[in-house]
Structure 1
């Protein structure tokens, strides 16, 4: 999996959010926070700086955050869950 796959999955999620049923504000806020966090990780991964322990912990937290949101989406917004699961899987496979 590449960063391009992750970016493509994020674009699919945004498109699905815009075209689908309304999403409750709590889920919307969680998704926005996760999107921002993913963008930060992607920016760090594109720089030649060596990863630190803090970066590894942040990446682990990001995967856990994605898994929690995926579980909530499966219950509350099943139309979003497949796209979001793709994002969570990509993060895991990339080691983020």
Structure 2
């Protein structure tokens, strides 16, 4: 699992979000926060190659996926893929 896959999935998630004009602003803000947290974790991982195992980001992605599932299945799917990738990297 590479951080490139996570970055690619984040880009697809961002595109799916842009294509959905009816996304609740609160959820949109939570997604933006998650993306920033993931970017920061990936940057830290490059300088500290062996981070302590943590699934906080994966859990956040799962929580958001559940909230998007009914109204925005494309975003839900991207978030679930992102969660799997984060788990693979221990994030």
TM-score normalised according to structure 2 size: 0.87
Distance 1:76 1:26, change over 3 A: farther
Residue in 1 that maps onto 2:17? 17
Structure of higher RCO (CA pairs closer than 8 Å, 6+ residues apart):
1
Pairs within 5 Å for 1:15-54: 15-48=15-48, 51=51
What is the CA RMSD across the aligned residues, in angstroms?
1.7
Gaps of 5+ in 1: none
Question: Match for residue 93 of structure 1?
Answer: 88
Structure 2 alignment gaps of length 5 or more? none
Larger CA Rg, structure 1 vs 2: 1
Partner of 2:65: 70
The answer as to whether partners of 2:62 and 2:79 remain within 8 angstroms in 1 is: no
Alignment: residue pair count: 91
Q: So what's the TM-score if we normalise by structure 1?
A: 0.83
Q: In structure 1, how many angstroms separate the alpha carbons of the residues matched to 2:56 and 2:78?
A: 20
Residue 73 of structure 2: SS of its match in structure 1? coil
Tell me which stretches of 4 or more aligned residues in structure 1 moved more than 4 Å. none
- Does 1:2 find its partner at 2:2? yes
